[in-house]
Amino acid sequence: MQHFLATFQNTAAAETPVAQPALLDFWTTVMMLGVLVGLTILLVIGQVLKRQPESNFDPAIIRNFNKRVITWLTICVLLVMSLLFNKIVTVVLFALISLWALREFITMTPTRRGDHGTLFWLIVGFTPFQYYMVAMNYYDLYTIVIPVYASLFIPGRIAFTGDHKRFLERSAKIQFGLLICVYALSHTPALLYLDLVYWDSEAQKHLPWTGKTAGLLFYFIVVVQVSDMLHFVWDRLAGKHIIAPAVNSTKTWEGVIGAACCTALFGMLIQFATPFTWYGAGFMALVISVMASSGSMTMSAIKRDRGVKDYGTLVQGHAGVLDRIDSVCFAAPIFFHATRFFLNAN
Amino acid sequence: MKQITVPFLVLLAKALSGATVRWVDCQPDICQRVYFANHTSHLDALVLWASLPKPIRARTRPVAAADYWRGGPVRRYMARAFNALLIDRKKIKIRNSPIDMMLREIGDTQSLIVFPEGGRNHTDQMKPFKSGLFYLAKKRPDLELVPVYIDNLNRVMPKGEFLPVPLLSCISIGAPIWLESGEGKNDFLKRAEAAVLKMKDH
């Protein structure tokens, strides 16, 4: 692998420098193609099962399965397309997802007239600004603007409107929505801007990683997605001990643990697209899986509190973006910081 | 000019309101109708109008307050673009009543969008309906009166604000009602209110 990359680099250096370095390399392409093919196969299986009038499977499970596969296929195709063009396109894509998720979250959360101005500035101000900083790679800023400045801005702005009813509750809800839908999610495209090293076992030291960060982003998305699916499968096949029936009646301890272990194995399998060692890739996948589970549990708790089952049915006909990205939101900052902590170049 | 701005405004209204349109016990049709809805935001008329299918939209006119929609060139232009029927709320006379004017304007092809609460409402409770709907129904019993409930648009742009926050809203369109023979004004208006509220819980 090292040799392959070295030759790749040498030839690239020997020829005239390319103005726009490609975002993808060989291994990233292999992984993306593999995922797309895999998802298409799953889609075909799902459709075949749906057509079968008499099968051993519960039609509700098959419907749920198909819905997930189609969502993930859409996300992967969008992601591949945006990665093929430019980093900025990926950042914009995630900014739009964030805006939509925030919109769903605030729609579900009861706010009052006095919050109107605050919400306006979150949507036209903080959200675009956060993604702008990600695109400009201002790490020092985008990691603190929302947790510090926005959380001071929100209660301050609400206080100025003079509406003190349920003040703390309203500030906290808006703050939480912004933190999850915008801040946490923005760490996913931020992966593209990392400058990483990898552990070279022959040289016994860290060397600059010459792979593409697009591969890292794709690794993250694929691992979250596989973890979600494995969680679903483990719950259905081996689920006995429900974690919190009042919050979510389908999530079990077997699901969390089984998914985490299997996801770790899967992470090792696709280690080639990342700067991690094989055990590093497994550990990262384990962390991602655990965070993804906590993400969907948290969102279930919020939904139960608000008395809605899906964000999608909140306003009928909407796809429910928040339902799909809850696990990504929770895993993204942790994965980002873990990667940066262990393998940052500087 | 209008060919470009109208689709753009429709798109903008849809994007800002994130409106889902549910046709409950009612199908889109170009027959003459009066859509009557609860009123909580300036966007109501535009969003409801924009959410109708294009052929219906082309022959449907929102009834709006002249004092608001004649204020300033942008609003005047928008009112023209949406083909709004402007009613002067301050000078309502018996001789030239707004009802007669509406009926004259729609002829026997166009439909109307009305807000019988008479003004924007910023409480949770709907205000009692004004009698205009009753007189419309009495003078033109053939019109289908279609109840519409507009949900959450008051949070997108509440009364007194001019910057919208693009949340998600929902427009539910219910089964048409008619004036029953011998039905009194108050009974009819109560029934109309109930028809709108039914869409809220549906």
Summarised one tens digit per residue, pLDDT across range A185-243 is 999 999 999 888 888 888 888 888 887 888 888 889 889 988 988 998 898 888 888 88
How far is the C-alpha of B30 from the C-alpha of B144, rounded, in Å? 11
Report strand pairing: B85-87 vs B20-23.
unpaired
Question: Residue A113 carries which DSSP code?
Answer: G
**Portion 282-341 of A in contact with B at CB < 8 A:** 314-318
Measured between beta carbons, which residues in chain B are less than 8 angstroms from residue A107?
Answer: 18, 152, 155, 167-168
* Domain presence at residue A294: no
Categorise residue B116: left if φ over 0, alpha if ψ from -120 to 50, beta otherwise: alpha
Mutate to test the interface with A, among B23, B42, B121, B168 (most CBs of A within 10 A): B168
How far is the C-alpha of A24 from the C-alpha of A104, rounded, in Å? 33
Look at residues A331, A244, A323, A340 and name the one whose alpha carbon lies nearest to residue A290.
A331
* Domain presence at residue A35: no
* Domain presence at residue A318: no
Range(s) of the domain holding residue A165? 87-193
Question: A255 and A234 in contact (C-beta within 8 Å)?
Answer: yes
Looking at every residue in chain A, the average pLDDT score rounds to 83
Are the beta carbons of B166 and A318 separated by less than 8 Å? no
* Domain presence at residue A260: no
Name residue B61's beta-bridge partners. B112
Q: In angstroms, what separates the C-alpha of B23 from chain A's closest C-alpha?
A: 11
Are the beta carbons of A116 and B158 separated by less than 8 Å? yes
User: How do residues A99-109 score in pLDDT, each as one tens digit?
Assistant: 989 988 888 88
Total structural domains in chain A?
1
Q: Which residue has the tokens 């101000």?
A: A125
* Domain presence at residue A5: no
Q: Note the residue count of chain B.
A: 202
Total structural domains in chain B?
1
Look at residues A8, A11, A30 and name the one whose alpha carbon lies nearest to residue A219.
A30
Question: B120 and B159 in contact (C-beta within 8 Å)?
Answer: yes
User: How do residues A49-85 score in pLDDT, each as one tens digit?
Assistant: 777 766 666 777 777 777 777 877 877 887 787 777 7
Question: A173 and A111 in contact (C-beta within 8 Å)?
Answer: yes
Question: Between B20, B161, B165, which is nearest A316 by CB?
Answer: B20
Instruction: Give me the total of CB pairs closer than 8 Å, taking one residue from chain A and one from chain B.
Output: 45
User: How do residues A250-270 score in pLDDT, each as one tens digit?
Assistant: 889 999 999 999 999 999 988
Domain of residue B46, CATH code: 3.40.1130.10
Look at residues A39, A46, A28 and name the one whose alpha carbon lies nearest to residue A272.
A28
* Domain presence at residue A233: no
Name residue B177's beta-bridge partners. B145
Are the beta carbons of B20 and A116 separated by less than 8 Å? no
Look at residues B199, B202, B196 and name the one whose alpha carbon lies nearest to residue B36.
B196
Question: Between B20, B161, B166, which is nearest A116 by CB?
Answer: B161
Range(s) of the domain holding residue B72? 2-201
